[in-house]
Amino acid sequence: MRIPSGKIDQVIYFVAVDSADLKTRKTGLTSFTVYRSRNGGTATVYTTPTITELSAANMPGVYSLLIDEDTTVASTSDAEEYCVQITQASMAPVTRVIELFRRDTTSGTTALVDANGRVDVAKIAGTAQTARDIGASVLLSSGTGTGQVSLTAGVVAANATQIAGAAVNTASAQIGVNVVNAAGTAWNSGAITSGTFATGAITAAKFAANALDAVWSTATRLLTAGTNIVLAKGTGITGFNDLDAASVRGAVGLASANLDTQLATFATAASLTTVNNNVLAINSKLGTPAGASVSVDIASIAAKTNNLPAAPAAVGDIPTANQNADALLDRASGIEPGLTPRQGWRLWSAALLGKANGLGSGTAIFRDTNDTKDRINASVDQDGNRLAVILDAS
């Protein structure tokens, strides 16, 4: 048996016979152990041997083993021997030897070699070839025959009779070329940008006479339209007038005169007296010394108002009587550490008002006023002295 190097889909066959009489064929066997050795290598157990029984009825005892481990020969070898030993508890051991070989041709293809050792190649990578197709760089044959071109110093001399399948107009000695693409891009397929033109490609000398004058006349119409000019602050154009004082006042909403004159009308003696009296009244309410600065007055007001609720006008910001009462009853450590007033009153009510039993037995129990639980569990001596107390104020 010969298997090409690297293939893992080939099987070999073996016959399993009884380990005692060495002749009875064994059927239905499983749990085989297979060891392999390639080219004298160490005996190595098959990781997952694939063994299949062919037919217990028609070919009893005949099994196949898939050769799919360590099937590649060394890089320096053309062929290597491969040995397997197959064992199973109830059958006699089986040893098979095969040959792994390096293929010279693709599987299923025959190379035709002539008497001079030349190979007739019909296809390369599945593609049919001719003599002119072979070679990374095919040399041209200079001449005028079929398949030849006229070459001089590597330059092709050709008489063009067609371009793109259309006959060339030889009578006028001109070749008309219908260009539809430039650098792979179709004409009229995109906008012209500054990057489209090489530096210096467009100069004044390259425009027809009066062409630039026509452009300027259009620009002049836009400039003189009156609505197409936007100026930065501090710049001006001849023919435009700066705003006068009256125009500035009108722009900012001042009816007449200047700003100082109009502000002076607010600072009359009567109005200042009224403001002063109001400040003095506020200072009197706050206890601020007479003549204190405005900043002192503001600080005094802040001291009185900073602790007010966020929205004093909202009724919901002011605690109700019940909320105040609950806050007091559940104040943490309100009586002593770990005891709130509510818990204390529960214990006092049980001791003073609830049922009690066992007062003379060594353990005194005081019930809550609803008689639902033991509030106080006290260990007492014969004189009624409390020695240990368990409290439940929940």
Q: What is the mean pLDDT of residues 247-261?
A: 71
**Domain edges within the chain:** 2-101, 326-391
Q: Specify the pLDDT at position 222.
A: 63
Residue keyed to tokens 């891009």: 185
DSSP 3-state assignment of 128?
strand
| Percent of the chain whose predicted confidence (pLDDT) is above 70 | 68
Give 67-80 as a 3 state SS string.
ECCCCCCCCCCCEE
What is the rounded CA–CA span in Å between residue 345 and residue 342? 5
* DSSP string over 190-208: S---GGGS-TTSS-GGGSP
Contact 141, 134 (CB under 8 A): no
End-to-end CA distance of the chain: 92
Give tens-digit pLDDT for 110-128. 566 677 767 776 677 777 7
**Burial class of 198 by CB neighbour count within 10 A (0 to 12, 13 to 18, 19+):** exposed
Give Cα 341 to chain centroid, integer Å: 59
Q: What is the mean pLDDT of residues 291-310?
A: 65
Contact 329, 340 (CB under 8 A): yes
Q: What is the mean pLDDT of residues 332-338?
A: 90
Q: Which pTM was predicted?
A: 0.33
Q: Which two tokens stand for residue 210?
A: 């009066």
Give the β-pairing of 162-163 and 166-167. Answer: antiparallel
Q: Specify the pLDDT at position 210.
A: 75
Asked if pLDDT for residue 108 goes beyond 60, the answer is: no
The larger pLDDT score, comparing residue 52 to residue 261, is at 52
Q: Specify the pLDDT at position 264.
A: 67
Question: Phi, psi (5° rounding) for residue 348?
Answer: -65, -40
What is the rounded CA–CA span in Å between residue 125 and residue 123? 6
Neighbours of 35 (CB within 10 A): 17
Cα–Cα distance list, 182 to 179, 194, 201, 391 (Å): 8, 17, 17, 100
Does 2-101 carry CATH code 2.60.40? yes
H or E stretch covering 347: helix 341-353
Asked if pLDDT for residue 97 goes beyond 90, the answer is: yes
**Burial class of 24 by CB neighbour count within 10 A (0 to 12, 13 to 18, 19+):** middle
* Winning range, highest mean pLDDT, from 130-144, 158-172, 331-345: 331-345
Give tens-digit pLDDT for 228-247. 666 665 565 665 566 677 77
